[in-house]
Amino acid sequence: MESIVASHPEEKHFTFDKIPDLAGKVAIVTGGNAGIGYITCRELARKNAHVFLLGRNIEKGQAAVEAIKSEIGNKDVEFMHLNLKSLKSVKESAENFLARNLPLHILINNAGITTETFSFTDDGIQEEFGVNHVGPFLFTKLLLPKIKASQPARIVNVSSMGHRRATGIEFETLNDPNAQDPKQRYRQSKLANVLFTDELNRRYLEGDQVYANTIHPGLVDTPMLRRNDLSFSETFLSSSISTEDGAITTLYCATSPEIEEKNYRGKYFVPFGIEGEKSSYTEDDDLAKRLWEFTENLINEKLSQKK
């Protein structure tokens, strides 16, 4: 099995102080009420962006917005409800933003989960695949016309180095609780993030100033790392980084002038703003196309059942 070492360079290629002034820019960050999502929102707001912090828990989301406003002084920070477990909620959230008739310069699909037990979304999709891939796929597609109209713009999809350990996309057994262990379910969903980003570039963004990339934030120290079912070694855990450092690579892709200057699109970045190595599966254009069509058909099927 491929060996992946959880190591991070001592010298950071990118830091918060390198984020340019973002006055006049509008940003959406999913999963923004805690962890690296919260830090991402805070630092975007610090540089004067109009930030929409999206999350499922309304109380926690609103509290996060008020905390950022209090700390930074930027009043253009807003909460919007988004429940990635529900395609209906994803559609409503995108429509709510579009109704504001604002530009959209930065979209960060940050939300990601790994579950201890096999479970389903509200639409009957295996939860990790649904929340980590299907929901963000629909959300991005619904907002894409606005993003393209606002270019130059950025799309950042938060993946994981775990995508390199996935053994492909198990389309036929996606909803089979006996088919995959928790690690594989998560890795598969993170591989889907990278495949989606690459296919998005091919289908919609050639010739546009919309720069869509994926990132691995680093081994961020969260309670998830201590779960017994994931069984990470102490050596592996000892190389974890803070949530502050975990937000750096996302912010690099979302804001650094280098992205446009070097025409980075369809790239995969690791801490701290360094191009990393993708899974060999991401070289399979047919797999990316199949995933795209599978996801579109799945969304159409599930939304038609809600009518």
- Specify whether 12 is catalytic: no
Measured on CA atoms in the order 51, 57, 59, 60, is the torsion positive or negative? negative
- Specify whether 211 is catalytic: no
Q: Which of 118, 122, 111 is nearest to 160 (CA)?
A: 111
Measured on CA atoms in the order 174, 175, 177, 182, is the torsion positive or negative? positive
- Contact call for residues 91 and 82 (beta carbons, < 8 A): no
User: What's the rounded Cα separation, in Å, for the pair 181 and 184?
Assistant: 5
| Token reading at 97 | 């933003």
| Token reading at 190 | 């993170």
Q: Which of 186, 252, 264, 268 is catalytic?
A: 186
Q: How many other CB atoms are there within 10 angstroms of residue 233's CB atom? A: 8
| Token reading at 230 | 């994931």
Name the E strands within the chain: 26-30, 50-55, 77-81, 106-109, 153-158, 210-215, 268-270, 274-275
| Token reading at 294 | 């599978």
CA distances from 245 to 67, 109, 253, 288 (A): 19, 18, 14, 30
- Contact call for residues 25 and 106 (beta carbons, < 8 A): yes
Q: Which of 232, 132, 135 is nearest to 188 (CA)?
A: 132
DSSP 241: B
Q: Which of 85, 146, 190, 267 is catalytic?
A: 190
Q: Is beta strand 268-270 parallel, antiparallel or unpaired with respect to 274-275? A: antiparallel
| Token reading at 290 | 């199949």
Active-site amino acid positions: 186, 190
